[in-house]
């Protein structure tokens, strides 16, 4: 009887304990990254392209660059860089909102990457995780993607190109 009572209390204690619940949040946007983006990142908000002093906003597929003191949001690179090879140029991943506010900081900090062509583009990756990217070839066909003009450019005036921030607070 004593053993039965002990077993009964043990069973009640087992059912009444609080269970810890862990919640993990993982953001992945591999499928929306451009084929010319660098491999190794599951999530990207922006790329900073030091050679053309421009940003690329992945969710909206827009280039952001300074023109006559205004930030331009465009489907294409700045007109002066028409023909730029996006697959070859270095891309700095920046996951913080509106990184162009820190343009002057980024321009100095990432100047050393202006002629660095060592990054592997998503298009040429053999990793199966990139096969969700439209146009991914699975590692073959190393054709070039030359940037074209600034079709659909929108000016977001008010910028003076002087930054004014305290640097990038996100991962890059």
Residue 161 forms part of a structural domain: no
Sequence-distant (≥ 6) Cβ neighbours of residue 42 within 8 angstroms: 26, 27, 28, 29, 30, 129
Kindly give the pairing relationship between strand 62-67 and strand 92-94: unpaired
Residue 167 forms part of a structural domain: no
The residue that leads in pLDDT, 166 or 21, is 21
pTM of this structure: 0.65
Residue 71 forms part of a structural domain: yes
Residue 43 forms part of a structural domain: yes
The residue that leads in pLDDT, 24 or 151, is 24
State yes or no: pLDDT of 30 exceeds 80. Answer: no
Domain with 38 in it: 27-156
Indicate the number of domains in the chain: 1
Q: How far from 20 is each of 35, 122, 167, CA to CA, in Å? A: 41, 39, 38
Residue 166 forms part of a structural domain: no
Confidence label for 133 from pLDDT (cuts 50, 70 and 90): low
């Amino acid at each position: 009887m004593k053993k039965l009572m002990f077993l009964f209390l043990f069973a009640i204690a087992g059912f009444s304990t609080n269970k810890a619940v862990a919640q993990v949040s993982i953001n992945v946007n591999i499928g929306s990254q451009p084929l010319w983006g660098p491999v190794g990142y599951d999530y990207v908000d922006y790329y900073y392209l030091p050679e053309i002093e421009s940003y690329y906003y992945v969710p909206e597929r827009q280039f952001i660059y300074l023109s006559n003191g205004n930030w331009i949001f465009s489907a294409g690179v700045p007109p002066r860089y028409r023909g730029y090879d996006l697959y070859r140029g270095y891309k700095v991943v920046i996951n913080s909102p509106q990184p162009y506010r820190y343009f002057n900081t980024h321009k100095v900090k990432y100047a050393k990457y202006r002629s660095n062509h060592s990054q592997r583009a998503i298009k040429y990756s053999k990793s199966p995780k990139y096969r969700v990217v439209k146009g991914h070839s699975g590692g073959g066909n190393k054709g070039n993607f030359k940037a074209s003009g600034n079709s659909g450019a929108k000016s977001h005036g008010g910028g003076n190109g002087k930054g004014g921030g305290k640097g990038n607070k996100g991962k890059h």
